[in-house]
């Protein structure tokens, strides 16, 4: 859990600093952060927690899991298709657009910030809940 928090937080801060190159992308970052907070709050309200033999098990709401999975798979498959099209364009001599396309894709930024905020927020919740249960059992 701690590794996930550090990883996503580091990438989160890095992408926020890279948004300074395109100040309009801060708008997309804020949309992603807001949607991530909404998803996190919804997930925390609908989480089911089970204590089996001193081990905590967490399960989020089915729709939260489906949204996260869909968001990840959609962007992954979309980027794979986009890279395939770019390879064709690069082989035809249009290499200038290759780097610009990755720097100005708002859907990828929104999607990443939704996932980053959700994973960091939910991981903090799991760590806090685990420590609370640890203190109770001690």
The 10s digit of each residue's pLDDT in 8-66 is 899 889 888 888 888 888 999 999 999 999 999 999 999 988 888 878 888 888 999 89
Cβ-count burial 23-59 (b if 16+ within 10 Å, e if not):
eebeebbeebbebbeebbebbbeebeeeeeeeeeeee
The 10s digit of each residue's pLDDT in 107-129 is 888 888 999 999 999 999 989 98
Contacts of 51 (CB under 8 A, 6+ apart): 57, 133
Distance from C-alpha of 138 to C-alpha of 64, rounded to nearest angstrom: 33
What are the extents of the domains in the chain?
A: 2-137
Q: Average pLDDT, stretch 63-84?
A: 86
């Amino acid at each position: 859990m701690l590794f996930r928090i550090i990883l996503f937080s580091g990438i989160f801060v890095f992408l926020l600093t890279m948004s300074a190159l395109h100040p309009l992308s801060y708008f997309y970052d804020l949309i992603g952060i807001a949607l991530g907070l909404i998803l996190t709050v919804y997930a925390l309200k609908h989480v089911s927690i089970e204590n089996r033999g001193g081990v905590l098990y967490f399960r989020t709401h089915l729709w939260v899991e489906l949204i996260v999975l869909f968001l990840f798979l959609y962007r992954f498959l979309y980027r794979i298709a986009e890279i395939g099209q770019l390879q064709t364009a690069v082989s035809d001599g249009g290499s200038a657009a290759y780097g610009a396309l990755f720097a100005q894709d708002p859907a990828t930024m929104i999607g990443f910030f939704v996932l980053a905020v959700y994973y960091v927020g939910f991981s903090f919740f799991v760590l806090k809940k685990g420590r609370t249960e640890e203190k109770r059992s001690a």
